[in-house]
Amino acid sequence: MPTHHWEDFQPGAVSIYGPRLVTREEIVAFAAEFDPQPMHLDEIAAGATMLGGLGASGWHICCLLMRVIADGFILDSSSMGGPGVDEVRWLRPLRPGTRIRVRATVLDTRLSSSRPQMGLVKFLFEVLDEGDTVLMTLTTTLMFGRRQPGALA
């Protein structure tokens, strides 16, 4: 039985997950596979781009956020996945050697109108560096099984 069900998420609750060290090797390996642009692959070429130096692919930051929250609470929850992402903003580059953390704020919760065994939780996730600078924000609604399916909220 997982620890976290839909009923356990309260609007306004804030949690911090991580840290997770992001290495140069993994930034380059991700980019070589999924986003082979110079600013994600090579320091010298990256210096001439608008990123001003080697930085992780924005999609890599999304994937790292997913892993940090998976380890943080999703894998020990009644997660049923997510239907999408409202918005992602890439605010600052993620440089090699940064220890990221994720700040999760519960914005809203509601029951599913079509599936009584499920509820929805809207989150703001912020990827932070060691100095609490926000590198990326992501707002999304995730689906969770209910501890008491069909009960009134």
Partner 1 sequence: MKFFEDIQVGEVFALGRHSFGADEIKAFATRFDPQLFHVDEDAAARSHFGALCASGWHTAVVWMRLMVDFRRGLLETAQARGEPVAGIGPALGFRELKWLKPVFVGDTIDYASEVVETRHSNSRPGFGLMTIRSTGVNQHGEPVISFLSTTFVERRPAPP
Cα 33–chain centre separation? 20
Q: Which is nearer to partner 1, 74 or 109 (CB)?
A: 74
> Cβ of residue 119: shortest distance to partner 1, in angstroms?
14
- Residue 57 binds partner 1, judged by CB under 8 A: yes
Q: Which is nearer to partner 1, 36 or 97 (CB)?
A: 36
Q: At what angle do helices 58-72 and 24-34 cross, to 10 degrees?
A: 120
Q: Which helix H or strand E contains 64, and what residues bound it? A: helix 58-72
Which residue is it, tokens 């999760």? 104
- Residue 96 binds partner 1, judged by CB under 8 A: no
Residue 148, φ and ψ in degrees, nearest 5 = -125, 85
- Residue 41 binds partner 1, judged by CB under 8 A: no
Question: Interacting stretch for partner 1, rule CB under 8 A, among 11-19, 30-38, 98-106, 119-127?
Answer: 30-38
Residue 76 DSSP code: G
- Of 43, 86, 108, 130, which lies in the binding site for partner 1, with binding defined by CB under 8 A? 86
Residue 103, φ and ψ in degrees, nearest 5 = -100, 120
- Of 75, 134, 151, 153, which lies in the binding site for partner 1, with binding defined by CB under 8 A? 75
